[in-house]
Amino acid sequence: MQAIKDAVHDYVDLCPLAADLLDTTPLQRLRHVRQLSTVALVYPSANHTRFEHSLGVYHLAREAAERLDLDDEDALRVRAAALLHDVGHGPFGHQTEPAIERHLGRHHDEVEDLLSATGVADVLADHGLSVPEVAETIAGEAEYGRLVSGDLDVDRMDYLVRDAHHTGVPYGTVDHGRLLRAFEYREGRLVLSEGNVATAESVLVARTLMNATVYRHHVSRIAGAMLDRAAERLLGAGFDPERFARLTDHELLVAFGEREATAEVARRLGERDLYKRAGWWTWEEVPEALVDNSYLDVRTLERKVAGLAGVEERDVILDNPGRPSIPESGAHVVVDGEVERLADVSTLVSGLGACAREQWRLGVYAPDEHVGAVSAAASEVLGTD
């Protein structure tokens, strides 16, 4: 069996299905999509890609399937889904996700069309798998799909550890060895076995701390917001959204660079010459209605702020992260023999919910030279205190 050296899991042994899938275009493309997109602008070592992350998720899914003693067919399907779970991501992953959803009405884990249209479908067929069942598993819906996409899935078990390894920030080091040993199926549901409340809590804690220091670092958010607005201009000017969704990180930057409306963003991202914060408001400072604003509302507000500040529309970016959430709190754990929702048995989870709210910030960004004007205008338009 072929084995690939990985910086996190040492060796990833490839089953024949995985070896075949790796050679397909959608998976090879992930070599050119960074796992943490613009985070490398803050943590320069964070250049790892969705390709190696996909290998890691495959590795963990495989071990989980063995420990859960899945039958051969289910195990094969789960492995395929794990390896393919990220092929639906556009360039820069989560940071172009809203733009893709607006223009294609499609979420990154809706991949049935994509799998059907590429060599992946043939590989799956060769190994006795159908595209729809793999696509459903990726979406977390088919049996055992929660292993791949659920509250406490192998996806986050890999990325937390991998992001820690490559950023150097230690908070993401969850104990995946213990999690793999704690998984069990009860009443048709993936749960953590007795004695693992702290194990589950540790994953939430890891993600909360990684959010604060890495995933939602303001510099990365600024770059991400700049990307989003440039993507909108590109797509608004007629760039084919299906083609957009299949670009790599650098192909997107090249596409930006070739068009006048976006060339400046390409330069700024390339040289880390980013917008600065003109506003950075806590949950308490922001009128609650604003949090649920649609994208169109946001763009309208940006225009208002720009007008009041006397700057170009593109000199104002309003970055609204929406309501904070903790998906892992829906995980299930066995406590005294009963399957319980983590949020019901752990008060730490509520503490983390409050923590997510404390970390929450609404951002307004502008070029360095307009920060003062935009800051004042934004306060007035948004009604922040």
Residues found near a copy of itself in the complex (CB under 8 A)? 3-8, 10-11, 23, 25, 28-29, 31-32, 34, 40, 43-49, 51-52, 55, 165-171, 173-175, 177-178, 181, 197-198, 201-202, 205, 208-209, 212-213, 248, 250-251, 253-254, 270-273, 346-352, 354-355, 358-359
Is the CB of 53 or the CB of 106 nearer to a copy of itself? 53
Smallest gap from residue 293 Cβ to a copy of itself (A): 26
Residue with smaller CB distance to a copy of itself, 52 or 319: 52
Please identify which residue in the block is written with the tokens 């059907």. 116
- Which among 150, 141, 76, 154 has a CA at the least distance from the CA of 112? 141
Between 49 and 149, whose beta carbon lies closer to a copy of itself?
49
The nearer residue to a copy of itself, 107 or 178, going by C-beta atoms, is: 178
Tell the smallest beta-carbon distance from residue 266 to a copy of itself (Å): 11
The answer to whether the beta carbons of residues 120 and 86 sit under 8 Å apart is no
Considering the complex, state which of residue 293 and residue 359 has its C-beta at the smaller distance from a copy of itself: 359
DSSP bridge pairs for 280 = 363
Closest separation between CB of residue 17 and a copy of itself, Å?
A: 18
Q: Cα separation of 117 and 245, whole Å?
A: 14
Least distance (Å) between residue 232 CB and a copy of itself: 23
Residue 299 C-beta: closest distance to a copy of itself, Å: 30
d(CA 10, CA 179): 18
Query: Closest by alpha carbon to 149, among 190, 101, 194?
Result: 190
Q: Are strands 2-6 and 10-14 parallel, antiparallel or unpaired?
A: antiparallel
Q: Which residue has the tokens 């649609």?
A: 294
Tell me how long the chain is: 385
Q: How far is CA 244 from CA 213, 252, 313, in A?
A: 30, 8, 24
CB of 296 to a copy of itself, least distance (A): 33
Closer Cβ to a copy of itself, 55 or 76, answer by number:
55
Least distance to a copy of itself from the beta carbon of 146, Å? 23
* Count of Cβ atoms closer than 10 Å to residue 1 Cβ: 8
C-beta of 344: minimal distance to a copy of itself in Å? Answer: 12
Q: How many whole angstroms separate alpha carbon 68 and alpha carbon 167?
A: 32
Residue 137 vs 211, nearer CB to a copy of itself = 211
Looking at the DSSP bridge assignments, the partners of residue 11 are 5
Spatial distance between the Cα atoms of 353 and 367, rounded to a whole number of angstroms: 33
In sequence order, the 6+-apart residues with CB closer than 8 A to the CB of 288 are: none
CB-CB contact of 79 with 70 (8 Å): no
Can you read off the two tokens belonging to residue 113? 């069309």
Instruction: Name which of 114 and 352 has its Cβ closer to a copy of itself.
Output: 352
